[in-house]
Each structure stands twice: as structure tokens, then as C-alpha cells.
Amino acid sequence: QKVTVEVLDHLEHLALVDFRDSEGVERLQKAIQFAEQLHEVNTDGVEPMDSVLEDRCLYLREDDVTEGNCTKELLKNAREKVEEYFVAPPGNIPLPKLEERETFLQDF
């Protein structure tokens, strides 16, 4: 059961990484195939496990400000900034559709 081009395209949109080449797609196919083995296990009546520490209470500290004021430090690692802002290109513009963008999936 092969993954369709639509799903592959959808994944590239969600993950914002590309498959790059047929090897990348093969890799995903193999990963899915490998995961199929899970269906051999009978999990009727079994609750999913989120954390091995599920029987304990998560630690919550007091909602007091104890540190911060490190704007300068944090901005040091950003490539593009203006005053105290990280600079980003315009948002709310989706990636071009499959036919219009440079992706290996075009020839898939």
C-alpha cells in the first residue's frame, strides 16, 4: 500500500522538510512498513501510556518571575533582528502548490 503523492505533498507542507529524492520517499515507505508490526499486538483494553511517571503529580512551581531580562543574550543568536525583534518574512502565505514549487515530488 503505497503512499500517494497527495499525502507526500501534505507531509512536506506539514513538516516543512522535503523528501529530496526517491530515497527519501523509500525511507518513508520502509518506516511505515516497519511500523505495521505493531498491529500484531493485541492491545484490547490497554490504555495508552504517555509517561512512565503517570502515577506522580507533575511539579508546578509558584507563578513568580524568577529570571529573565536576558533579551540581549537571546538576540545574540538570531541572524536577523531589528532592535528587540526577530525579523521574519511575511506570514500567512502558504507554500506554493505542488505544481508550482520546486520539489522532487513534481516528477513523482
Can you give the binding site for other proteins, defined by CB under 8 A?
3, 7, 10-12, 14-20, 23-24, 27-28, 30-32, 34-35, 37-41, 43, 46-53, 56, 58-61, 70, 73-74, 76-80, 86-91, 93-95
CB of 56 to other proteins, least distance (A): 6
Query: Cβ 67 to other proteins, closest distance in Å?
Result: 9
Q: How far is the CB of 94 from other proteins (least distance, A)?
A: 6
Q: Which DSSP string corresponds to the chain?
A: -PPPHHHHHHHHHHH-----SHHHHHHHHHHHHHHGGGGGS--TTPPP-S-TTTTSPPP---S---S---HHHHHTT-SSEETTEE-----S-PPPPGGGS--GGGG-
Question: In terms of CB distance, is 14 or 107 closer to other proteins?
Answer: 14
Closest CB 54 distance from other proteins, rounded Å: 9
Nearer Cβ to other proteins (47/107): 47
